[in-house]
Amino acid sequence: MIKLCGFPLSNYYNKVKFVLLEHQIAFEEVLVMPGQDALLLKHSPLGKVPYIQTEEGDLSESEVILEYLAARFPDKPIFARDPWEAAKERELITYVELYLELIARELYKEAFFGGTVTDDTRTRVEKLLLHHLPGFQRLAKFGPYLRGAHFSVADIAGYVSLPLVGIATQKIYGRDFLLEAGIDWKAYVGQIETRPAARRVSDDRKNYVESVRSQ
Ligand SMILES: N[C@@H](CCC(=O)N[C@@H](CS)C(=O)NCC(=O)O)C(=O)O
C-alpha cells in the first residue's frame, strides 16, 4: 500500500492526500517532518514533504506524485480524460503553485512562524504577487470552480494553497491580496469543503494543530 509521508499542516501533503481520498486510493499516512536529517534525505532528496513510498521506492514532489498516481490508476479520473481539459487543469495548478504560493511562501517565516522577513523580501514578494495575480485571474474561472462549473484536480491545488496566500498577505501587508483582487477565497474554500475528502483533510489539519498545541 502507498505510504504518504509528511504532516497534515503541509499544503502539498494535503494536496496529495486530498487526491488519494477523493479517488478512494488506499494509502497509509506516516508522520514525517521536513528537515535535513540524513535518513530523511535518503527518501526525499531535499528533505521536503510530501513524498510517497511505494513497492518500487520513494517519490517526492506533489505534482510528480499526482502524475504517478494518474498513470498507476488509469481508471481513476485524477485529471480530465480530455487532453485539452487535463492540460488546462495542469496550467492552473502551475499558476497557483509557481506564481502564487511559491512566491507567498517567502512570507511564511514571519506570517506563521514568528520570524521576520526583510524589507527587500516584502517589496519583491508584493511586486511579484501583484503582477502574477491578474494573470491567474485571466485563467481561473471561479464558476465556482477554477475550471468553471466542474470540480477538478486544479481545485485541489487551489483549496490547499490559496488560503495561505490570502492569510500570509493579510498578516504581512495588512491587506489580503486575493480579497483585494476580488477573489473570495473563503467562499471558494467553503464550496470545496462540501466534499467529504476536503472535510477530512481539513479536520485532520485542525486535529493536528490541536494535538501540537496541547503538547
Ligand atoms: N514542490 C514541492 C514543495 C513541497 C514543500 O515545499 N513542502 C514543505 C512543507 S509544505 C517543506 O517540506 N518544506 C521544507 C523545506 O522546504 O525544506 C511539492 O510540490 O511537493
For atom 17 of ligand 1, which residue has the closest CA? Answer: 48
Q: Domain 2-72 carries which CATH code?
A: 3.40.30.10
| Ligand 1 binding pocket, CB closer than 6 Å | 10-12, 34, 47-50, 61-63
How much is the pLDDT for 170? Answer: 98
Q: Domain 83-213 carries which CATH code?
A: 1.20.1050.10
Show me where the domains of the chain are located: 2-72, 83-213
Residue 120 CB-half CA count within 13 A: 0
d(CA 176, CA 163): 10
- pLDDT tens by residue, 19-34: 999 999 999 999 999 9
How much is the pLDDT for 38? Answer: 98
Q: How far is the CA of 214 from the centre of ligand 1 (A)?
A: 25
**Ligand 1 atom nearest residue 50's Cα:** 20
Distances (CA, A) of 136 to 14, 34, 95, 146: 22, 29, 6, 10
- pLDDT tens by residue, 109-138: 999 999 999 999 999 999 999 999 999 999
Most informative mutation of 9, 10, 12, 63 for ligand 1 (most atoms within 8 A of CB): 12
For atom 1 of ligand 1, which residue has the closest CA? Answer: 61
**Ligand 1 atom nearest residue 11's Cα:** 10
Q: How far is the CA of 149 from the centre of ligand 1 (A)?
A: 30
- pLDDT tens by residue, 153-199: 999 999 999 999 999 999 999 999 999 999 999 999 999 999 999 99
Q: How far is the CA of 161 from the centre of ligand 1 (A)?
A: 12
- pLDDT tens by residue, 49-79: 999 999 999 999 999 999 999 999 999 999 9
**β pairing state of 2-6 and 51-54:** antiparallel
What is the mean predicted confidence (pLDDT) over 9-18? Answer: 98
Q: How confident is the model at residue 215 (pLDDT cuts 50, 70, 90)?
A: confident
Cβ-Cβ contacts under 8 Å for 143 (sequence gap 6 or more): 149
Q: How far is the CA of 16 from the centre of ligand 1 (A)?
A: 12
pTM assigned to the model: 0.97
**Ligand 1 atom nearest residue 60's Cα:** 20
Residue 37 CB-half CA count within 13 A: 8
